[in-house]
A and B are shown apart, each in its own frame.
Chain A
Amino acid sequence: DVKVTQSSRYLVKRTGEKVFLECVQDMDHENMFWYRQDPGLGLRLIYFSYDVKMKEKGDIPEGYSVSREKKERFSLILESASTNQTSMYLCASSLNLAGGWRYEQYFGPGTRLTVT
């Protein structure tokens, strides 16, 4: 079974702090994604990566950065946390087969971040 783990289930940070959210997958997937989920807004893509050291902006990258130094690990960084970044953060991964993407994304359990 695909397993995606996230470093924390719950996190409380203060405004202005630098926040690191870590995600690890154990299935040798090429693609990794970070989403945030808010009531009424659904899942919104922040960043994704299709290879080590590669990253692409999603729909709402402002205020976030990412790092992918190893294939299995994808980190989301909030350089200076703000209250409007209070949200559920979900990491996902997917396989990239020769000849095309597989669109099945496998999600971690999520990190509920509160910024006060």
Chain B
Amino acid sequence: EAGVAQSPRYKIIEKRQSVAFWCNPISGHATLYWYQQILGQGPKLLIQFQNNGVVDDSQLPKDRFSAERLKGVDSTLKIQPAKLEDSAVYLCASSSYYRGTGELFFGEGSRLTVL
């Protein structure tokens, strides 16, 4: 079974530029999460999708961050314009909502450096 796929693995941009990250969850997983992990800290939820609907985006800085999950499968997270403090690893995770234990599975992450 293929795991959670993310791209790109690394991205370097200058402040005020835009960037987009892509995630493909494990096949059949209805729930998809985007987390932000700053160096030395645990991941923090940005947004959670159930199929193609948003369950929780309370911690998403909506003035600069946006995310979508069209057709309830792939998802894209966009940052525009980027700030220095957005430098972090952006982790995508998925879980099976309709069967299983609710276990969370992560991708390798996308490391963003904002100069």
Partners in one complex: no
